[in-house]
Amino acid sequence: MLDSIPSFTRLVTELTKFPGIGSKTATRLAFFLLRQTSAEAEALAGAILDLKRHTRFCSVCYHITESDPCQICTDSARDDRLLCVVETPQDLLAVERSHSFRGRYHVLHGALSPLDGIGPNDLKIPELLQRLQPGEIDEVLVATNFTVEGDATALYLARQIQQSGIRVTRLAYGIPMGSELEYVDEATVNRAIEGRRKID
């Protein structure tokens, strides 16, 4: 029945492209949007377009930003000798919400996954290793997720970075196995950062 309404069907199809959104949820969201005023719909469309037009990845840490370098990279109060490596911008935000880390960041934009064809050159790993060349960093905190891919990435990074003589640490295992930083509460992330351990 709804197939006979092309604009509605198109919106449902686009909404199902969002992570975790199936056809039922997409249909419910489409009906919600249909009930909104034109001004509210245009505000949402404008926000999406602004996001695409004005945001980019920071050329230093690869976090999302509207100014390059980003605010974190230009914050003079941060510790330049401590670098936290995360998988995604969402993970960076989770660490920031814990208020327990005052160093710099590097966003990999994923994790190693040979089965999916994702190797080191598909992530921001070469850029990370390049950042370590000047010898200004004392410690790299690997804050990848506690998944098979996250652990494999942490081990790979540790082997690469330790060759430079830099101390490599990992978040403590207060974070449940298989969990993603984005969904972990601030207090748990805080404890994991404070209890970080050296990767051997």
- Of 46, 67, 45, the residue nearest 58 (C-alpha): 67
| Residues 10 and 107 occupy one common structural domain | no
- pLDDT tens-digit profile of 168-182? 999 876 666 566 777
Tell whether 51 is covered by a domain: no
What Å distances lie between residue 41 and 29, 35, 110, 193, CA to CA?
12, 9, 32, 41
| Residues 178 and 124 occupy one common structural domain | yes
Per the omega criterion (within 30 degrees of 0), is the bond before 69 cis?
A: yes
User: Is residue 65 within 8 Å of 105, Cβ to Cβ?
Assistant: no
| Residues 31 and 83 occupy one common structural domain | no
Tell whether 151 is covered by a domain: yes
- pLDDT tens-digit profile of 72-87? 999 999 999 999 999 9
The helix (H) or strand (E) run that includes residue 43 is: helix 38-54
Containing structural domain, residue 39? 2-45
Give the mean model confidence (pLDDT) for residues 99-128: 95
Give the mean model confidence (pLDDT) for residues 127-131: 94
Number of domains in the chain: 2
